Amino acid sequence: MKRTALFTAMFGASFFAHSAVTMDPVQDPNNVNGFVVSQSEIKAAEDALTLDPMYDTWSQALRTQPNAVVDAILPGAATNPENVKRVERVFPESDWNFLTQMAAPEYTYTRFLKAIGKFPAFCGDYTDGRDADAICKKSIITAFAHFSQETGGHIAKDNVSDNPLALEEWQQALVHVREMGWAEGQEGYTTGCGQDDWQNRRWPCATGQGYFGRGAKQLSYHFNYGMFSEVMFDGDATRLLNDPALVADSWLNLASAIWFFLTPQAPKPAMLHVIDRTWKPSQREIDAGIGYGFGTTINIINGGIECGEQNKNKGQPVNRIRYWEGLAAHYEIPIEADEKNTCWQQTPFGSLNLQGATDVLYTNWDGNWKYYADRPGGFSFECELVGFQTAYSALVPGDYEKCVTNFYGSHANWPTVRVVADADKPSTGNPGGGGEPVDPNAWSPTKVYNTGDRVVVDGVTYEAMYWTQGDDPLLSEAWGPWKKVL
């Protein structure tokens, strides 16, 4: 899908909306209370909202190699993908060994290469003159600074008994593969599991499994395991939900961190795009002190707890900054004049006021609840981009259609919508060619009726005495808005 210009739905739109596309829902001949839209309408509506080229950039960053390709990756193999060969050149196994002398045995250089090989955008090429080798090295060192905080040993250099090699703390990454205090077989981090909601319909918890922190990024909670599983296993969320231990005991322990590194959590950018400057901060972000540098990667990871003036001297961000500065000095990573290593001067992303902003892009779909007078019931039959997590991602192919059809039941009182091929969309009657046409005067629970409108229920005609929606004439005749006329 090619996108070429900015056209993003934002806050503050008029309640009475004018759509950028023409949706023409028709009554579903197979369901008196449902509607039909065509695939071309779905595509046009999605394309109109994702024209900015950043959506393509995000999608490309999350592109993956088949696991069969990943399984064949080995240090020095001639068949390794090009981004893996770049890593071997700028961060050879000797560097890995230098930084992982305390690491758990589940973390290996081979698994590191496999994790990177899964995602061609990590240490990938650039065609616009940017130095891909330098960006690659800076990305790896940034990741290790965060590994040192998330899973590091945190043992002082002069603590001879616990640190006999006198390793710097920034050399103590990847000590933990599972969250401290947790072990396989424990049902931890299952908050929300088993509820009848869209999170459980999309990412269902497995009985007896715990979703505590695992891997270099300490992946936690069932919805994160489900999302990561979809990326790793061709859309199958259940693979890691049923077997979360894979995130500790296989190359996924590092792939989970690379995935996080590449994934925007809009309005948060992907960490890679802060480092390679594909991301351009919006005016609201600039006003909030958010720009380029290691500090913004802290804000992306844990800004609500670690950024802002009140957290200036807090242990976690102070540690991260120390580790980054030690690593950057050792590996001679240049710090640009407009980069800041700290985030105490930044507003956390979660606290940004984006009301009315027109230069911020979002990555989740939710139902568009604006009123459209020319459509049944005033419903839009469209989805829009929002700045909070939903069941549907703008970066996942097919999720826009799932949003419109309310696939995971996340939109309360949304009309029943079915998507058909253009050739199968009826004007009236059955798109499949069978069954009886639906009476166009039949009452619909999603349609808005005004005074004087008439409907037919069980062969009886009713007239609306005032505005109504959702009131069944058979149930509300005695007290409601309908009166029997024929």
Q: For the chain, what percent of residues have pLDDT higher than 70?
A: 92
Is residue 428's pLDDT more than 60? no
* pLDDT above 60 for 310: yes
pLDDT tens per residue, range 389-419 = 899 999 999 999 999 999 999 999 999 999 9
Report the pLDDT value the prediction gives residue 477, as an integer from 0 to 100: 63
Residue 436's pLDDT band (cuts 50, 70, 90): very low
Query: For residue 258, what pLDDT is reported?
Result: 98
User: Which sequence spans correspond to the domains of the chain?
Assistant: 198-262, 448-484
Q: 206 — alpha (psi -120 to 50), left (phi > 0) or beta?
A: beta
The fraction of the chain above a pLDDT of 90, given in percent, is 74
Q: What is the mean pLDDT of residues 57-75?
A: 95
Q: Which residue has the higher pLDDT, 67 or 8?
A: 67
Question: Could you give the 3-state DSSP secondary structure of residue 331?
Answer: coil
Per-residue pLDDT, 1: 38
Question: Domain spanning 448-484: which CATH class is it, in words?
Answer: mainly beta
CATH class held by domain 198-262: alpha beta
> Does residue 139 register a pLDDT over 80?
yes
DSSP state of 460: E
Tell me what pLDDT residue 20 has. Answer: 55
- 73 versus 440: the higher-pLDDT residue is 73
Q: Is 268 helix (H, G, I), strand (E, B) or coil?
A: strand
Q: Is there a contact between 384 and 29 (Cβ–Cβ < 8 Å)?
A: no
Question: Which pLDDT band holds residue 478 (cuts at 50, 70, 90)?
Answer: low
Residue 21: what pLDDT?
A: 65
pLDDT of 325 > 90? The answer is yes
Q: Tell me, what's the pLDDT at 7? A: 26
388 pLDDT higher than 90: no
Distance of alpha carbon 143 from alpha carbon 151, whole angstroms: 12
Mean pLDDT over 290-314 rounds to 97
> So what's the pLDDT on residue 464?
87
Q: How far is CA 46 from the centre of its chain?
A: 17
Whether residue 435 is predicted with pLDDT greater than 80 in this model: the reply is: no
Among 88, 150, 382, 384, the one annotated catalytic = 150
Distance, in Å, from the CA atom of 49 to the CA atom of 43, rounded to the nearest integer, reads 10
Pair 109, 75: CB distance under 8 Å: yes
Q: Who's near 441: CB < 8 A, 6+ residues apart?
A: 454, 455, 456, 461
CA pair distance 164, 153, nearest whole angstrom: 13
Query: What per-residue confidence (pLDDT) applies to 422?
Result: 92
Average per-residue pLDDT for the chain: 89
Query: Which pLDDT tens digit goes with each residue over 449-469?
Result: 888 888 888 778 888 888 888
Whether 150 is catalytic is yes
pLDDT above 90 for 115: yes
Lowest mean pLDDT among 173-177, 352-356, 378-382: 352-356
Phi and psi, residue 442, nearest 5°: -65, 145
CA 195 from centre of chain = 21
Strand partners, 265: 268
On the question of pLDDT at 229 being above 90, the answer is yes
Q: What is the pLDDT of residue 6?
A: 27
pLDDT value, residue 476: 67
- Cβ atoms of residues 215 and 247 within 8 Å: yes
**What's the pLDDT at 450?**
85
Asked whether the beta carbons of 142 and 297 are under 8 A apart, the reply is yes
CA distance 267 to 283: 13
Does 90 score more than 70 pLDDT?
A: yes
Residues 6+ apart with CB under 8 A from 102: 153, 155, 167, 171, 172, 173, 174, 175
